Amino acid sequence: MRVISLTILTFLFSSHIAFTQEQELSVSGALVDASDKTPLIGATVLMVNVKDSTRSKFAIADGDGRFSVSNLERAFYRLRISNVGYISYTKLLRVTIPDQSLGTISLEPEITNLDEVVVEGEVIAVQQIGDTTQYNAAAYKTNPDASAKDLVSKMPGIVVDSDGVSANGESIEQVLLDGKRFFGQDPLLSLNTIPADIVDKVQVYDEESDQSQFTGFDDGNTTWTMNVVTKEDKRNGQFGKIYAGYGENELYKAGATINSFNEDQRLTFLGMANNINQQNFGSEDLIGVSGGGGRGGFRGVGNQSFITGTQDGITRTNSVGLNLTDDWGSNTSFEGSYFFNQTRNNNDQLLNRESFLSGRTQYYSEDLQSVTDNYNHRLNLRANHKIDENNNLLVRSSFSYQDNESTEVTLGETTNQSGELLSETFNNYSSTNTSFNFSNNLIFQHKFNKIGRTISFDLNTRINPTKRENFYEDLSLDSLIEYNTDEAQYTLGSRVTYTEPVGTTGQVSMSYEVSNALRKSDKETFVITEATGAETFSEELSNNFESRYTKHLPGIRYSNNKFGNIFDVSLTYQYATLSNEQVLPITDDSKRNFSNFLPSILGRIDLGESGNFFARYSTSTTEPSVSQLQNVIDNSNPLFLSVGNPDLNQTYLHSLQMRLQKNYFDSNATLANRTSITTRTDYIGNSTSIIEADSVTSGGISLVEGAQLTTPVNLNGYWSVRNNTTYGILISPIKNNLNVSAGLSYTRLPGITNDVQNIAKTYSADVKVGLVSNISENIDYNLYYQLSGSRVYNSIQSESNSQFYTQTIGSTVNLIFPKGFVFRNETLFQKYNGVNDSFDSQYTLWNMGVAKKFLNNSRGELELSVFDLLGENQSFDQTVTAQYVQESQTQVLQRYFMLTFTYQLRSFKG
């Protein structure tokens, strides 16, 4: 009988606990004036989740001064109550029961003696809510056609330029729309798509990882994020714009941005077509153009990430994009985006390079003309399904397909210090490249009954085959060589993570990760007799190579999160195996094992409403790529040859990141400082040999005097130190926002030239001052000045030390006059002083337009504009390595007139 009674009691107690856990948690109370006890109507009650401010809630006091904040979690909250004319009330409390009453709270009046008072409502521009900096969009004035990009550029500490979006000196990695991803990882595209007039708030914070969001414990693995919160009355309807323009010399542009919002369902369509160099929304890495395309080792166009900047030269673009976010029921959310972009790029590039040799200097100049056609498809999907209260399934998939065709005509020559010609090349290079990339990440997460005890399983796969067919024609010698390359990478990895709470604020996690990457590269080269078309297989320039990289990583981590102050320390042991197998031209196998400990430590100190401080020390390793390992000569440019090195070791990296953010809300100002220090052991640099005289290798490969043969090698002594300070303030008297940034950097690059080590030390500085208007919707301008410069010191040849700097003064003005007349003006003056005097230049880029708005609510606009009114537009760039300093100048679009019609679509449901 006692057993039965105990069982019943246990059941009733468990049922009560389960019922309590399932009930909605809330906090309620009443607000009164401390002096006369009258109710405080309309006071704001904010409950800031200490662990994650994005989960914060708020309420407004009703006519009796009563409030109730619902949908709370079992967590610590910082309560903040504010009302105009009263001293703010703050308190830290823990929410644990379904209906927690705070009773009656009295606010003290804020008394100020004034001779005469003029009451004028002013919106609070910036707030700090936990670890989130929140900007109120109503405090910033933008013109009716402005985008969210124009809006955020007016906010203190936020800078938008061609490189992307940064907040308090750190790059924004993703933009969310109402907490959901918008167009993947492309911040500029996202902000350009969102109209400013639907934005209510903009939040900047470190978003927690999926693992942290599931366990409810911040492990410090975060993404610097901007969340755009829309106005409630703008979440149902259609909005966007459609435009088309035509100008002289058959120049044109057309496009559309159409959004359809229905609460949780968000659908966006983008379209673009033009031949005036307005390029892709956010194109993928352009195969055949970027590094690894199989042509020489010195072209640096593009990069290895999925989202790149624009191409040099003049580009014709056709692009479409779709983005969909939706909630399928109460337990499943979906996010997906698709892009297609097709570009044709024409470029005429002049290049000068100064190479550092032991005891002398060598020069290379080049005139390159190229035409590139590129087709890209990209699909990204993310689905999250909450199976039940304790189980969750997350799927992330991406797929891309690329087709690239290009032709290049190159005239290059190498000279010595006296200007004597050492060697030259005149060649035609054409390539056809196709590639697709598929990756999938499947994560299953389970919560146990004990809060904080979880287990998760992560399975990821990647498939990336690439095929290249390249032809090199020496126009001087009438020779033709065909290079065929088949590359493929197959990766399979898995990870299991178990977490266990320690005390009330701590957590221990244990993980084990294993992955296997198989990389293949088969290169076949044929010498073609042009008269007959006969092909002769070149064994010396062909290679079949396979590399397998396997790693095991057991690790343990301890985290402590107390009232927003985070301490996290972890230790991972990595055991890796790199095995290489070569079949052609000779059979050769090699295998090496690597054992490393990978410690990390991070901390974040919450400074309350005034800001926070964050620091992280971490370590990691990077394995050499298959192109760096493959031991075959690439002579597709006879003046710049390259060969891989199968004996390369993996690189071990140490990184220290520190960030201090301070907010001064009484003056609407922000101050931030960011420092990063990186050093690498076994850094993969280059060893370059200069050919002293015309010769032929034992395999029959011709080498000309002055040509360079580059091989990747492991080197020590790499350092990179960067510091950036930003200050932003809203100057109320003149209604302008001032942004100031200053950066310093030091880079130490080791390299080898003719068996002599060279250390290239680069010291750089950058200062930028910007003034952005916040006067009215009809007056919009942005004025800025930027000075950046670098000085390079070389250890093997101090007389070749060089410096270069750029000064930029710019302004954009948008004025709206009565009766719908609009004036727009954009001016940029740039002065460049380079290493080589022949590249020193200065120019003014002046764009101007006049427009007339018409139709209902000024939805239509007709604009006559001119690009590069003075016809001075230019483009130049510089590159610094341990072996050389290089400057390049590329083809640009110059003066043209264009007439453009634009229609703004706005239709919202009440």
Map tokens 């970027």 to a residue. 290
Q: Are strands 57-60 and 611-622 parallel, antiparallel or unpaired?
A: unpaired
* pLDDT confidence of residue 57: 79
Roughly how many angstroms between the first and final C-alpha of the chain, as a whole number?
64
Map tokens 């955020």 to a residue. 152
* pLDDT confidence of residue 209: 74
> What secondary structure letter does DSSP report for 292?
T
Cβ 792 vs Cβ 806: under 8 Å: no
Residues 6 or more apart whose CB falls under 8 angstroms from that of 530 comprise: 478, 479, 480
Query: Rounded CA gap, 576 and 697, in Å?
Result: 36
**Which of 301, 320, 317, 180 is CA-nearest to residue 252?**
317
Residues 6 or more apart whose CB falls under 8 angstroms from that of 173 comprise: 185, 187, 223, 224, 225
Query: Rounded CA gap, 304 and 298, in Å?
Result: 15
Give all domains of the chain, ordered by start, each with its CATH number.
20-107 (2.60.40.10), 126-237 (2.170.130)
Cβ 830 vs Cβ 805: under 8 Å: no
Cβ 434 vs Cβ 259: under 8 Å: no
Query: Rounded CA gap, 137 and 197, in Å?
Result: 9
Q: Which amino acid is at 270?
A: L
Indicate the SS3 state at residue 905. Answer: strand
**Which of 762, 763, 804 is CA-nearest to residue 787?**
804
Q: Going along 168-209, which residue ranges are E strands? A: 170-171, 174-177, 180-181, 199-208
Query: Rounded CA gap, 371 and 368, in Å?
Result: 10
- 421 CB neighbour count, 10 Å cutoff: 11
Query: Rounded CA gap, 445 and 457, in Å?
Result: 7
pLDDT in tens, 862-899: 999 999 999 998 887 878 787 788 888 898 888 999 99
* pLDDT confidence of residue 295: 42
* pLDDT confidence of residue 13: 42
Hey, which residues does 5 pair with through a beta bridge? none
- 38 CB neighbour count, 10 Å cutoff: 9
Return the structure tokens found at 486: 């088949």
Indicate the SS3 state at residue 7. Answer: helix
Query: Rounded CA gap, 440 and 422, in Å?
Result: 51
Q: Which amino acid is at 653?
A: L
Query: Rounded CA gap, 268 and 342, in Å?
Result: 20
pLDDT in tens, 182-217: 765 678 778 888 889 899 999 988 887 777 767 665
Return the structure tokens found at 853: 């708005």
Q: Note every long-range contact of 761-767, with CB atoms under 8 Å and residues 24 or more positions apart, other chains counting.
A: 761/792, 761/793, 761/794, 761/795, 762/790, 762/791, 762/792, 762/793, 762/880, 763/790, 763/791, 763/793, 764/788, 764/789, 764/790, 764/791, 765/789, 765/790, 766/741, 766/742, 767/741, 767/742, 767/743
* pLDDT confidence of residue 220: 57
Query: Rounded CA gap, 718 and 712, in Å?
Result: 15
- Low-confidence residues in the chain, pLDDT < 50: 1-22, 113-121, 282-309
> What secondary structure letter does DSSP report for 211?
H
Instruction: Give CA separation, 438 vs 78, 461, 554, in Å.
Output: 44, 8, 27
Q: Are strands 25-33 and 99-107 parallel, antiparallel or unpaired?
A: parallel
674 exposed, middle or buried (CB, 10 Å; 0-12, 13-18, 19+)?
Answer: buried
- 373 CB neighbour count, 10 Å cutoff: 15
Return the structure tokens found at 302: 């593009």
Q: Going along 231-331, which residue ranges are E strands? A: 236-247, 252-262, 265-274, 314-328
* pLDDT confidence of residue 216: 60
Indicate the SS3 state at residue 893. Answer: coil
Model confidence, pTM: 0.80
Cβ 653 vs Cβ 619: under 8 Å: yes
162 backbone dihedrals φ, ψ, rounded to 5°: -65, -20
Query: Rounded CA gap, 640 and 881, in Å?
Result: 15
Handedness of CA 47, 53, 57, 59 (dihedral sign): positive
The separation between CA 334 and the C-alpha centre of its own chain, rounded to angstroms, equals 22
Handedness of CA 206, 211, 217, 221 (dihedral sign): negative
> What secondary structure letter does DSSP report for 637?
S
